[in-house]
Structure formats: C-alpha cells, structure tokens
Structure 1
C-alpha cells in the first residue's frame, strides 16, 4: 500500500497535468491582439480562449524583452475543467514596430501560444501634415473637487479624435447630459468642438425604437490641457449651452 504522502503527490501531479491539458485545449482557439490593426501607443490586449477554472487572473504577469512581450499566469489546479472563457490580457502600449507576444504557464518552458503582430506608425493624410497632433492621451475622468456631482469623461482614439460625455444639472437641479464631438485640435494641447444634447425614450421601456433618439447642437466647447508648474493634471474647460457660457478648471481623477 503506498504511503499517503506518495499517493497525494501522484494525485497532485495528475491534477496539474490535467489542468495544463485543459488550458492548452482551451487556448487552441485562434488568439489575436486587439485592436487587430494597432497604431503606435494604442493600448493593446491579448485575446484568447482559456479554461475558466484554470485561468487565474490575479497571477498574470507581463514583461517586455526588447520586442518580445512575455505574458504568463499560474494556473489553478482544477479536477473538472470549467467552461471556455474569452480572456483579455492587457499588454500595454508600444511604439511602431514588429513584435511578438508569447503566453506561458508559469514554470513551463514552452509557451501556450506565439503571436507575431505589427504596430503601425501614425499615418497622416495628404494635406494634414501641418495639423496639430495631441502630445498625450487625455482620456479619463475629469472633474472639480470643489464642485462634486458633475463631471466630464473623455475618450481619445489612436488617431487623436476626442469624444466627451458631460453630465451636469440645469436651473431646476435636474440632471442633464451632453456629448462633445465633431472637433479638432487647435494646438497640441487645445481641442475645440461641438456640444450636442441627446434626448430619447425611457431607459427602462419594454423596447427601444430605432429612431427613438434626437440630437441637436447646443453650443461649443474648448478644452485646454496646457499645464503650468504646480498645476499638473489640470485643464481649462470652456463651453456654452443655449447661449450661456462658463469656464471651469478641471482636475484629472486617477483611480487607485
């Protein structure tokens, strides 16, 4: 009769081998780097299918070795495989060039997958060579600590396009929200565009009609991200809605 310790060791080895096989089988689906055609300094993710029980997100590690990106995780030991799950692993943002990402189970020498990809340099359309280009990514949450309850959320694309969602209150203290769009960069740190008001049907209605939303331009907006010493992570936000204009100092909200 084998010693209990030896029996436990054999069971652990079997479980480990079973878990590795489950991960490898699940990862057989075609992986990809998203976005599929990344541009320089655009946030990238490795998307692949893994066993949901074996994959441990808390153990994921990503390292850059020249142009090789090494991602790894420590698998859980699962007696029964979990259902396949599509997993996104954040890789970071990189300059233009040719890269390869490899995914490893920690402790294994052979990767689960190898995926070469290319990060494209920013392309400039003919005639746009002299147009300003933002020097940083200003996407995120902006607000004023002295004026809680309203704010501005910005999303910035790889081509520098900016889109904003502004949530404020009207004279009757009723919530209103607007979008900032159809703009362009005036300088490397100053953007100007339109303020658009959106209205639509009840959010919890039984169905949402395809033509249920209405849009109208109600003003303009300018965001100046230029900073001064001692006033980092601040921006000047000037906008008008239905003929009324205000100028606010916004601070970038960074979540821990």
Structure 2
C-alpha cells in the first residue's frame, strides 16, 4: 500500500513539473506570414511527454486546432522547442487552439491568433514604358539600297542596333555605328546613344544621341500594308541623319 502511495505521489510531482512547460506561450513562424506562405506553430514541449506521431492539425475555415497526446512519463524531460506545421493560408485572421490529452478527453491549454497579410505592391509613378511588340530584325529602305539596320530586342526589352552605312561626299566610305545604352520613352520610341567602335586596341566613341521611332506613318509612295520606323543617329562627321526604314520580310 505504501508503494502505491509513493508511486502516486511521484506521478503527482512529475505532473506538476510538466504542467508549466505545457502552458508556455507559443508563437508563430513566420510572425507575419504572406499569402500561402507556410505557417508553423513554434511551441515549447517536454522532450519526454511530447510525441510527434500523435500530433493532429484540424483546420475548419479560419479555426485551427492542434491536438497533442502526451506520453506518460514518471520523470519530466528537458524542455525543447518544436515547430508544428499548420499549413498555408490566404489573407485573413486565423484562431488557433492548442489542445492536449487523449483524443476522447481533449483539454484546450492555449488560444492564439495570427494574421496573413497581403503582399506589398511597389507603385512606380509614372509607370515605366515598355514596347508592346518585338522589333527584332533586319530593317532597310528599299528605295535607298546600300545601308540598313540590324535591331535586337532582348527578352527584357533592351535594344542593341547596328547601322551599316556610308558617308556621302568627297570622302565617301562605308561606316558602322551601334545604337545602345538607351531606354524606352514610350511603347514605340526608344532613345539611346550612337557609338562608333574603332582601332586595335578597341576604342568606343560616343557620337551623340540616337532614336528609334516605330509604327510611324509611312513615307509617300510606300507600299500599302507595310509598317515603317524612323532611325535617327549621328554620323562620324558630326552630322545627324534621320531616315525611314521597314523590316525585311
């Protein structure tokens, strides 16, 4: 009889030691979850009594209950911190109950709440312009053979163009310049720099501004149904030239 009393007293002492740990305040991780980001309940448990195989998470709308059935321990284990996955949720306010005991006799030991907040939106004013189509291709003017423009538009809408041209006059000679280092001023107008590259070692000379204006009205006498652009750039002799171009079929 004395053994039974001693055993009961020992279990009572063990229970009194475990109880404060079970009531330790729990938190959520992350503390401010975004929509459909995984949410965990971070709580402190008794390393002996806690059995992860018995943990159940019951989700009913915005109400969540975490049920845990402890092991029977005569001597309390050391406290440890565990994360219990609750799930991923849309924007809203959610209530969480932490319950312990057998599944037939569940006792709620803690009630908490967390909010899923909307993602922040970066507003750029005014909006950054971007083209609505890809202008990549070989461009020329059928009525002015002997020169043309190769345009490359990257997936991020950066533009690099090579102009193979010639300088008219007594010192006429073929020349190449590139149009680069620019940005879109509108959905159909790009502005950049005219760069001439020469020499060995290679040197780059900034000749001045450059423009590509797409979807402009066609020049007089143009074939119906063709789309036109105007390329404007600087020449090595310092002059500025602007001409109509259309994409080769």
Same fold (TM over 0.5): no
Between structure 1 and structure 2, the one with the greater Rg is 2
What is the TM-score when the length of structure 2 is the normalising length?
A: 0.45
- Per the normalisation by structure 1, the TM-score is 0.43
